Amino acid sequence: MTHTRRRSPRSRVLAPSAALCVLAVAGCSVGGDRPSVAVPTPSSEAAGYCAELHEELPETVDDLERSDPSPESELTAGWGDGAIVLRCGVPRPARMDDSQAKAVDADGVNWLLEQPGDAGADDDAHTGPRFTTTYRKAYVEVTLGPEYAHDITPLSAFAAPVKKTVPDSL
C-alpha cells in the first residue's frame, strides 16, 4: 500500500517565502563587501563631464578587474576591491596652490601628486599616493593603494578617457 503525503496550502506558501528570505539576506551581505567611498558633489557642468568619463572607463586597470565602490555613482569607480579608486568632480585640492607641490604627466594628462603625510594635503587619511588632474574642467582624483607607493603605471589607463571626456580648462 502506497501512501502519498499531501501538502497543506499553508506549507506551499511558506516554502517560497523562506527561499526569498534566504536570497534577500545573501544579497545584502554580498554588496556590503565593496569598499565605501565618499561621493563628490560637483557642479552640474562637472557632473556632466564625469558621467561621460564613467562610460569610457576601462574594465581592467593594471590587471585588476573593475569593482566599483559603494554607494553606486557615476562619480566613482574602482578596480581590485579598492586598490585603485577614481572619484570625478572632487573639489580643487588646496595643495595645487603650493609652488612646491609635485606633479606628474601620464600620457598627456597632468596630475597633482599627494603622498600620505604630505604637508598641506587635504586628507592625510589615504594610505597610498593620490593624484588629481590639473587644468581640466572637472577634477578627477585617483587614489592608489600602498602597493603603488612608487608606481604611476595605473594612471596611463585613465589618460585617454580623461582627454576624451573632460576638456582642458586652459
Average pLDDT of adjacent 10-residue blocks, the chain of 170 residues? 47 37 33 77 98 98 96 97 96 94 95 82 67 97 93 96 95
Q: How many CA atoms lie within 13 A of 97 on its CB side?
A: 6
Distance CA 75, CA 56 (A): 12
Give pLDDT, residue 149: 86
Distance CA 156, CA 136 (A): 16
Residue of 39, 105, 102 whose CA lies nearest to 68: 39
Give pLDDT, residue 30: 38
Contact 166, 43 (CB under 8 A): no
Give pLDDT, residue 121: 53
Give pLDDT, residue 116: 85
Q: Dihedrals φ, ψ of 90, to 5°?
A: -75, 160
Give pLDDT, residue 35: 78
Residue partners of 1: CB distance under 8 A and separation at least 6: none
Task: Return the residue matching grid coordinates 573639489.
Answer: 91
Q: Dihedrals φ, ψ of 98, to 5°?
A: -85, 120
